[in-house]
Structure 1
Amino acid sequence: MNPPLTPAEFPPNPLEKPGYRLEFHDEFAGGTLDTGKWLPVYLPQWSSRARSAPRYALRDGALALQITHDHTPWCPEFDGTSRCSSVQTGVFAGPLGSRVGQHRFNPACAVREEQTPARTYTPQYGYFELRARGPRDPRCLFALWMIGFEDAPERSGEIAIMEIKGANMTPNTARNGHGIHPWADPLLRDDFAETELPIDATQFHIYAAEWAPGRVDFYVDNWLVRTVQQSPRYPMQFMLDIYELPVDAETERIRPPAAYPKEFVIDYFRAYQPLGGYGAE
């Protein structure tokens, strides 16, 4: 069956969702980032809070996470020349020099700055919805991920609600990545897919997931794209990110100022719980 999707901008959903209660949300209507909801860092334990701080703007009722021309790599020791602007809803890491910390993406990662553990929103199960748009730039990737708080190594699974690479976009299509990565969770298996959809991801669209015991449903513009028949069994935090990824030395050298800023623009993020709960696992 062909999905009932179109390239055109998709309108916002109502704030109230029938059968659910709103548990957490940000409409980004103010002039400052609400740091009671979002920590303005990206995996700071592997770098530092200062080096991983995002570039962003709040305007027109939206959060624009930015890659700017003067942006420096967030973690050159472990992630080369990758640049990133991100906000997240939790942080946890072990002592300085240890290998204990969230989302250890490189086996060489060691804690370079100690972090005070923090949780602004780390649910276990729910329905989560993002309305956003991103750049059609071959070096960029923009995403909404959930990761385990990782206060124990096995609580490290990832739910990728949406992940789009600029190289996988056209004016009328986008390949949307979604699924589960186990990392060090022995109860999960890798189940990630990139589905080509008839949407223009430079326009606002809605990306959502319902995480329930034993399954995760993935949606775009209120249409069910896929169901994964497994799910993590512990609280998870959210990561909203845009990256500029390295291609080659010449591309890295030539970064024309007119191409910046590159923006992942978030209209809103909302989280809901079903009125009757999810029942026993």
Structure 2
Amino acid sequence: MKSIILKGIVIILFGFLSSCATDDTQIVARFTELVMADEFDTEGAPNSAIWGYDIGTGDNGWGNNELQYYTDRSENVTVQNGVLIITAKEEAFNGASYTSARLLTKGKFEQTYGRFEARMRLPYGKGLWPAFWLLGDDSNGTEVWPQIGEIDIMEYVGDEPTIMFGTVHGPGYSGGESIGKPYQLENDRFDTGFHVFGVEWGPNYINYYVDDVLYNQITPDDVPGEWVFNRGPFYIILNLAVGGALPGSPNEETVFPQTLLVDYVRVYKNSNN
């Protein structure tokens, strides 16, 4: 039996700059104290003690010209058979041509530093844009993006099923100037099986992992502006966008509905966090 433990502006992205850390300078830290986990073992709506929702089309398609209307309907977000299912559908809904869902832990679970990871199977098709990311709290609107900071643990465009990427956004390196690196699977695809996407985030570094492979580290030396990741806390967002600046619109070969499947989300810290 699985259990649930609780303690305690997607932005236009045309490209990104690669970080500079090399393997022999990377810091590897392990966070072992589990402080939040959703194993999605309760059927129906996601646990409201952990997850809230963004609803609607946002400002200018959530800042990215996205095409979907985000809902909290069971047609777009539900838990079944131990898996969170976020479904993008092609349908007319409140003036939009597509629906999907965007979940967030803002005001429910937020943390500075630690390991944040999720085991997911990604969708496939032109115009699909799932993401698993962290956003700094805006202090009830008194601070603005990108000053609040953004850590994209996993982004992916559905017509490139072997490639994902992780990035950071901050003042002087946001949107198309974000700092990050792609990761490509060999002899596998992200839409045909589950993979674990994670970061280990500590003072002055963020390590990026796929299936426990450390493929990138970003430090203050890698960003051309203020390092805003020693502030906090940050909250988690899971979403499946349709269309927008990064993936472009769906085409005649894109099959709907499409699903983002999440087996679990877990957050760890160490005793000195």
TM-score of the superposition, structure 1-length normalised? 0.67
Structure 2 CA distance, aligned partners of 1:149 and 1:184?
19
Structure 1 position 194, deviation (Å): 2.1
Residues 180-199 of structure 1: pairs in structure 2 closer than 5 A: 180-182=168-170, 190-198=178-186, 199=188
Structure 2 CA distance, aligned partners of 1:21 and 1:228?
23
Structure 2 CA distance, aligned partners of 1:124 and 1:81?
37
Give the match for residue 30 of structure 1. Answer: 42
The one of 181, 189, 213 equivalent to 1:200 is: 189
Structure 1 position 45, deviation (Å): 6.7
Structure 1 position 196, deviation (Å): 2.1
Contact 1:158 1:183 in 2 (8 A): no
Give the match for residue 157 of structure 2. Answer: 165
Structure 2 CA distance, aligned partners of 1:226 and 1:184?
20
Structure 1 position 84, deviation (Å): 3.9
Figure out how many residues of one structure are paired with residues of the other and give that number. 214
The 1:71/1:242 distance shift into structure 2, 3 A limit, reads farther
Structure 1 position 163, deviation (Å): 0.6
Structure 1 position 148, deviation (Å): 1.1
Identity of aligned residues (%): 21
Structure 2 CA distance, aligned partners of 1:196 and 1:215?
22
Structure 2 CA distance, aligned partners of 1:46 and 1:164?
22
Large movers: runs of 4+ above 6 Å:
none
The one of 238, 242, 259 equivalent to 2:240 is: 242
Structure 1 position 260, deviation (Å): 2.5
Q: Aligned with 2:158: secondary structure?
A: strand
Structure 1 CA distance, aligned partners of 2:165 and 2:85?
21
Give the match for residue 214 of structure 1. Answer: 204
CA RMSD of aligned residues (A): 3.0
Structure 2 CA distance, aligned partners of 1:85 and 1:123?
23
- In the alignment, does 2:258 pair up with 1:268? no
The 1:133/1:183 distance shift into structure 2, 3 A limit, reads farther
Structure 1 position 135, deviation (Å): 1.3
Contact 1:42 1:88 in 2 (8 A): no
TM-score of the superposition, structure 2-length normalised? 0.69
Unaligned runs of 5+ in 1: 1-14, 91-118
Contact 1:156 1:185 in 2 (8 A): no
Structure 2 CA distance, aligned partners of 1:185 and 1:234?
19
1:190-243 residue CA offsets vs partner (Å, 9 max, x unmatched)? 312223232420110000101111010000001101100136122111110111
